[in-house]
């Protein structure tokens, strides 16, 4: 390949930084792309780069090229955008987090009204197993550049402090053990520092290094239906409105699509894409 172009790009946060070929290369490798295909996509993408271009524009261009070459890898590459597609209300994101926790062996409920020592709280997700009871704040952001800050961490900790004053019946009568704050984007450094100090669990797209949201999705094969290119936007919305957020749910029960009027050929196409993830 030719030498990487020397120009500036605009991050989702609005920050300007020099274009880094290595970041694009790493994202492609993480998507399962190898060898010459990586070089081809980078070369084609860099041909169209302009000074001041946003990183999201670069991503979209690389995704377009990848989709033409390797559809399964393109789906993996677009995973973060797919999770963003669970918006805009955030309710589907809560359902999605509950499903992830169920796959990890927890029972889970969303939108629970739970009494604390002083007041009643609406908790996004309550999850429990034999050994642990967790309350989860699922913080959904509609743009990649938005971070969950110290104010959010303080709010979650204050709620947890009130809730842990009384016993709750989830599986059995007990106190709440942990509070988690899960977001589809990132945390500010002060939020991370506070959480470490107060023993509050933070899970972001790439935080912590191990056990982050991306890891949880990929390790458990928990791709949201919004990553499927064989479904239209309106079809995805219809499925989400019925509480269907995991692609594997459709694979396990294709009749979900049949009940919505999908023809057999279309059902096979969707299931085939899910199997290739």
Residue 3 covered by a domain = no
CATH of the domain at 113: 3.40.1350.10
| pLDDT reported for residue 143 | 85
Residues 201, 166 within the same domain: yes
| Residue length of the chain | 277
Instruction: Provide the pLDDT for residue 90.
Output: 66
Q: CB 2: neighbour CB atoms within 10 A?
A: 7
Residue 183 lies in a domain: yes
Does residue 129 lie within any of the structural domains?
yes
Q: What's the half-sphere exposure (Cβ side, CA atoms, 13 Å) at 38?
A: 16
What pLDDT does residue 12 have? 78
Are 199 and 237 within one domain? no
Place 277 in a pLDDT band, splitting at 50, 70 and 90: confident
Answer yes or no: is 257 within a domain.
Answer: yes
Cis peptide upstream of residue 208 (ω within 30 degrees of 0): yes
244 in the same domain as 118: no
| Whole-number pLDDT of residue 74 | 63
Output the pLDDT for position 26: 87
Residue 70: is its pLDDT beyond 70? no
Confidence label for 62 from pLDDT (cuts 50, 70 and 90)? confident
What local confidence, expressed as pLDDT, does residue 245 receive? 92
**pLDDT of residue 32 exceeding 80:** no
In this structure, the answer to whether residues 27 and 116 fall within a common structural domain is: no
Mean local confidence (pLDDT), 252-268: 94
By percentage, how much of the chain surpasses pLDDT 70?
95
Same domain, 70 and 100: no
Query: Which of 56, 77, 98 corresponds to the end of one domain?
Result: 77
Q: Which of the four pLDDT bands, split at 50, 70 and 90, describes residue 81?
A: confident
| In-domain check, residue 27 | yes
Q: Are residues 208 and 255 in the same domain?
A: no
175 and 117 co-located in one domain: yes
Question: In the chain, how many domains are there?
Answer: 3
How high does pLDDT run on average in the chain?
A: 91
Quickly state the pLDDT bin for 64 (edges 50, 70, 90): confident
User: Which are the contacts of 214, defined by CB distance < 8 A and separation ≥ 6?
Assistant: 79, 80, 205, 206
Q: Return d(Cα 238, Cα 245) in angstroms, integer.
A: 10
In this structure, are 22 and 113 located in the same domain?
Answer: no
Residue 4 has a pLDDT of: 86
DSSP H or E segment with residue 124: strand 120-128
Query: Do 215 and 230 share a structural domain?
Result: no
Q: Which of the pair, 67 or 162, is modelled with greater confidence? A: 162
How far apart CA 129 and CA 134 sit, in angstroms, is 9
Give the model's pLDDT for residue 199.
95
- Report d(CA 181, CA 97) in Å as an integer: 11
Q: 84 — alpha (psi -120 to 50), left (phi > 0) or beta?
A: alpha
Same domain flag for 234 and 253: yes
Q: What pLDDT, in 10s, does the model give residues 125-172?
A: 999 999 999 999 999 998 888 999 999 999 999 999 999 999 999 999
CB pairs under 8 A, 24+ apart, for 146-151?
Answer: 146/185, 147/13, 147/185, 147/186, 147/187, 147/188, 147/191, 148/181, 148/183, 148/185, 148/186, 148/187, 148/188, 148/191, 148/204, 149/187, 149/188, 149/190, 149/191, 150/188, 150/190, 150/191, 150/194
Is 51 a member of any domain? Answer: yes
Which tokens go with 159? 């709620």
Average pLDDT over residues 8-33: 87
Q: Are residues 130 and 45 in the same domain?
A: no
CB atoms near residue 23 (< 10 Å) = 13
For residue 89, pLDDT beyond 90: no
Q: Which domain holds residue 237?
A: 225-275
Q: Which pLDDT score is estimated for 75?
A: 62
Residues 39/40/42/44 CA torsion (nearest 10 deg): 160
Residue 240 reports pLDDT greater than 80: yes
Same domain, 170 and 109: yes
**Is residue 1 included in any domain, yes or no?**
no
């Amino acid at each position: 390949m030719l030498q990487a172009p020397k120009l500036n790009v605009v991050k989702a946060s609005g920050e300007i930084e020099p274009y880094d070929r290595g970041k694009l290369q790493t994202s492609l490798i993480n998507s399962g792309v190898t060898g010459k295909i990586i070089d081809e996509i980078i070369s084609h993408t860099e041909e169209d780069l302009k000074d001041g271009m946003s990183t999201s524009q670069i991503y979209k261009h690389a995704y377009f090229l990848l989709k033409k070459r390797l559809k399964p890898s393109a789906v993996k590459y677009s995973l973060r955008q797919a999770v963003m597609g669970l918006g805009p209300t955030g309710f589907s994101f809560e359902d999605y987090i509950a499903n992830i926790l169920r796959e990890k062996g927890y029972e889970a409920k969303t939108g629970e009204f739970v009494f604390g020592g002083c007041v009643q709280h609406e908790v996004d997700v309550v999850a429990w197993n034999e050994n642990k009871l967790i309350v989860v704040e699922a913080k959904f952001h509609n743009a990649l550049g938005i971070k969950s800050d110290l104010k959010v961490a303080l709010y979650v900790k204050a709620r947890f402090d009130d809730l842990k004053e009384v016993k709750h019946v989830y599986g059995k009568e007990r106190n709440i053990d942990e509070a988690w704050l899960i977001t589809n984007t990132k945390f500010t450094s002060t939020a991370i520092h506070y959480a470490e100090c107060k023993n509050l669990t933070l899970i972001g797209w790439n935080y912590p290094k191990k056990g982050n949201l991306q890891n949880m999705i990929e390790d458990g094969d928990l791709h949201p239906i919004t990553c499927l290119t064989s479904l239209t936007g309106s079809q995805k919305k219809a499925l989400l409105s019925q509480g269907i957020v995991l692609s594997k749910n459709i694979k396990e029960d294709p009749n979900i699509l049949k009940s919505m009027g999908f023809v057999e050929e279309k059902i096979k196409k969707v299931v085939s894409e899910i199997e290739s993830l």
